Amino acid sequence: MEFKNSEILYKKGCENLVGAVNSPVRAFASVGGNPLFIDKAKGAYIKDVDGNKYIDLVLSYGPMILGHRNKKVEKAVTRALKKGYSFGASTNAEIKLAKIVCDAFPGMDKVRFVNSGTEAVLSAIRLARAHTGFDKIVKFSGCYHGHMDAMLVAAGSGLATLSLPGSKGVPSQAVENTLISEYNNLESVKAHLDKYNDVAAVILEPVTGNMGVVQPSDDFIKGLRKLTKERGVLLICDEVMTGFRSQFGGAQELVGIQADITCLGKVIGGGFPVGAYGASNKIMENVAPLGGMYQAGTLSGNPIAMAAGIATLTELEKQNPYKKFDLVAEKIEEFLLSSAKKYGVDLTVNRFGSMINPFFASNEIKNFADAQKSDTKKFAKFFWAMIENGVFLPPSQFEAWFLSSSLTIRELKKLEKAIDASMQVVGSL
């Protein structure tokens, strides 16, 4: 396989872009080599600038849940484009998308659209502080909530991949109100809430994707909901990754809880920049123009992005691919485990709906510390072998593989072969 054009673009890109990427997760820091440059994509496949074609399990880190360039979405976006790109005034499309979102999440009466997951979370945290009058936030190590200052502590995949404990440039005052707990460990939350009576919220990924896929135990997630309610602390579910992906009503629906504030992103924009946060009327009435919490955006609710969101969610609800996702993920898990066994490779597979994660580790993975025991060198070998076998994966051990509804038996057969060949490479190390 040749990567000549990608190499040329990488060198060129390094001149005026930082590391030739606009998000560090796209760099190949932990797998070595140069990042691939993409030309185009359609359905389950993505093509690089050298004409190599891959089954795409990155899917823009989640948004492309219907596969690339779904016909209905493409039509809706084209139609919206012809009416104008941005107005600085409200449109009917915002009302339509808001209705779809609020109907899907029973805890949401009102929603505010923003332009990214990061914006959704930073606004949700401001809202929790405005509503309670308290400043402290409990977060879990290994959970990623975007790149706002206060959340850049113990923050999962992107940072884990680069082995950065936090980030330079974040003032210590910005994180002094952030308390860290351990995922799947209710006592570690209780300890903070016993010690401090000025906690505004606990924020978590209700199923994680950013330390790899980790599910909450039933006791942990239900206990957390009960505990926060008892203590008058808001529970923020960051469903930027899992919203509309785990289930139409998000991971909350599957784990059986209801958040006080929910953050959305990724799938909700169908590949365009959309984020959202929402809650009950009582909580959302704090937000300007109804209340005194200020949050704004020139391009928020952009009509093209709204059109893509409406079309994506409408099609997703119609296709209802969630059972199929489970079956496909189960198959992929089987391929991974049987080939790992065949070639004597230690492997633990975690999955939840359309997110799946093989960890090159023999231990069970229940939190960030468990995930970090994985052999990232083996992952790097596996990653490149999968590329050579025509499968595009996120270039990090700690990042979930994403499934789209455009995968068919044909791609599953290819995946089985690619996994077997790649595992053999790892086994021969």
Ligand X SMILES: *Cc1c(COP(=O)(O)O)cnc(C)c1O
| One residue of 59, 104, 240, 407 binding ligand X per CB under 6 A | 240
Return all residues near 244 (Cβ < 8 A) that are at least 6 apart: 65, 104, 250, 264, 267, 268, 313, 316
**42 beta partners:** 45
Find out whether 310 and 153 touch, Cβ atoms under 8 Å. Answer: no
Nearer to ligand X by C-beta: 63 or 107?
A: 63
Q: Is 103 a catalytic residue?
A: no
Helix (H) or strand (E) holding 140: strand 136-140
CB of 80 to ligand X, least distance (A): 21
Q: Specify the residue, 118 or 181, whose C-beta has the smaller distance to ligand X.
A: 118
What contacts 209, CB < 8 A, 6 or more positions away? 62, 157, 241, 242, 355, 399, 400
Q: Do the Cβ atoms of 301 and 113 come closer than 8 Å? A: yes
The one catalytic residue in 144, 260, 277, 378 is: 144
Give the shortest CB-207-to-ligand X separation in angstroms: 10
Q: Cα separations (Å) of 191 from 132, 179, 195, 206, 397?
A: 20, 11, 6, 20, 31
Helix (H, G, I), strand (E, B) or coil at 48: strand
Residue 237 belongs to what H/E stretch? strand 234-238
- CA distances from residue 128 to 80, 102, 166, 399 in whole angstroms, order as listed: 35, 19, 23, 28
Q: Which of 13, 63, 158, 209 binds ligand X (CB under 6 A)?
A: 209
- According to the binding rule CB under 6 A, does residue 238 interact with ligand X? yes
Our CB check for ligand X shows the closer of 46 and 355 to be 355
What is the smallest separation between the CB atom of 318 and ligand X, expressed in angstroms? 25
Single out the residue of 241, 310, 347, 393 in contact with ligand X (rule: CB under 6 A): 241
The vertex-287 CA angle with 284 and 292, nearest 5°, equals 130
Query: Smallest distance from the beta carbon of 180 to ligand X, in angstroms?
Result: 16
Residue 238 a catalytic site member: yes
| Residue of 266, 366, 378, 381 with catalytic role | 266
Give the shortest CB-151-to-ligand X separation in angstroms: 8
* By CB under 6 A, residue 146 contacts ligand X: yes
Contact flags string 156-195 toward ligand X, x per CB under 6 A? ----------------------------------------
Q: Does 205 bind ligand X (CB under 6 A)?
A: yes
Residue range at the interface with ligand X (CB under 6 A); choices 128-136, 177-185, 193-201, 234-242: 234-242
Which one-letter DSSP state was computed for residue 141?
A: T
**CB burial of residue 336 (10 Å; 0-12, 13-18, 19+):** buried
Q: Which residues, 333 to 362, sit near ligand X by CB under 6 A?
A: none
Decide: is 268 part of the binding site for ligand X (CB under 6 A): no
209 vs 303 by CB, closer to ligand X: 209
Question: Least distance in Å: CB of 158 to ligand X?
Answer: 9
Whole-Å CA distances, 125 to 160, 197, 278, 284, 417: 23, 17, 12, 12, 45
DSSP string, 319-372: H-THHHHHHHHHHHHHHHHHHHHHTT---EEEEETTEEEEES-SS---SHHHHT
Give residue 223's identity as a one-letter amino acid code.
G
Q: Which of 48, 56, 238, 370 is catalytic?
A: 238
Identity of the residue numbered 243:
G
Is residue 310 part of the contact set for ligand X (CB under 6 A)?
no
Give the residue carrying structure tokens 């945290």. 125
Rounded to the nearest whole angstrom, what is the least distance from the CB of residue 183 to ligand X in the complex? 13
Closest distance between ligand X and the C-beta of residue 60, in Å?
10
Which of 30, 161, 210, 252: binder of ligand X (CB under 6 A)? 210
Among the candidate windows 83-91, 96-104, 113-121, 380-388, which touches ligand X by CB under 6 A? 113-121
Map residues 269-288 to x or -, x wherever contact with ligand X holds by CB under 6 A. Answer: ------x-------------
Q: Segment near ligand X (CB under 6 A), from 111-119, 222-230, 356-364, 398-406?
A: 111-119
In contact, 136 and 177? CB cutoff 8 Å: yes
Binding site for ligand X (CB under 6 A): 116-118, 121, 144-146, 205, 209-210, 238, 240-241, 265, 275
Catalytic residues: 144, 238, 266
